Structure 1
Amino acid sequence: MEYSFKQAQKADALQIWEILARAIQRRKEDGSNQWQDGYPNPSVIRSDIERGIGHVLVDSNTIVGYCAILINDEPEYTKLKGNWLTNGDFVVYHRVAISEKYLGQGLAKKMLGYVEDFARQHNIHSVKADTNFDNAGMLNIFSKLGYTYCGEVTFRGTPRKAFEKVLTD
């Protein structure tokens, strides 16, 4: 299948929220505390889109995945309990979710490949991300994609594992 990765538009908000709402439910069913505190929510998605940071993975005309991508914009990362691999510019992504109908097809890894391409296009060679200690799926993806565990960050009172991948050309 041919996938494309592009900036989300206002018209995409409902489809994105449906994907995230189901991902929130999946996290709950897995016994995770991640995303069980009212975040993310539709207003977060609208804000992502308005700020130009929301991105979608698309199969034909169907949105199959979502994430927010920012450059040098994660204040909590300055408070890392640990050490980043690099101290320069970085791309950070949040709110990674794949549509229920497309799970198990490696699309989260594909989407994160597009995030790495985004970083390279901006001449940035560091990608940083974090996840809950109990998000086995995302932890597995970090391992498979060559991310290095760097320490802990805290969001909304909850510690999370922080990772970095240094990109080569």
Structure 2
Amino acid sequence: MHDVEEEYTSKFELLPNPFSASSPLWDLEYADDTVLFSPNPVTLQRLLHILPHHAARIGLHLNLDKCEHLQLNTEQDIYFRDTEQGQCQCSSCFPGSPVPHGPPVPVSAIVKYLGVYLSQKARAQTDITKRLAITYASLKVLRPFSSQETSLQTGNSLYTDKSSEQ
């Protein structure tokens, strides 16, 4: 991602910080999962257009089917680049260029990153609700084991738990 930042700053000057200048966070990476942050759609689109070029140099490619755009405080769409090979020549990266953008990035009201659900309203309710549903489903499966007498037969042994009896 250092190469992406270098190219961005060489073409467009400073990379705007979405949160604060004291903590210049514009991306998160974990293994092959990446999140890009931007204070505006133009910057986000430019980052998205620079990233595939540098990723392809080391044999990585964006899975366009897994890309999602979580719009925060905007309704402006962003678009994939025109081609993965070479430098992007679209009008976002080169103002006045006749080269069109690629297809639009699908907009989602809720996205999942590393098991956490993020929404446009920035509330944890969606994530908590989904986690509680999983917890309740697990408890329902385990309920038969919490009865007063539970027997478990493994191989030639029979284990009985009568600890809940008084």
Scaled by the length of structure 1, what TM-score is found?
Answer: 0.33
Q: Which has the higher helix share?
A: 1
Scaled by the length of structure 2, what TM-score is found?
Answer: 0.34
Q: Which has the higher contact order (CA 8 A, sep 6+)?
A: 1
Q: Which has the higher strand share?
A: 1
Structure number with greater Rg is 2
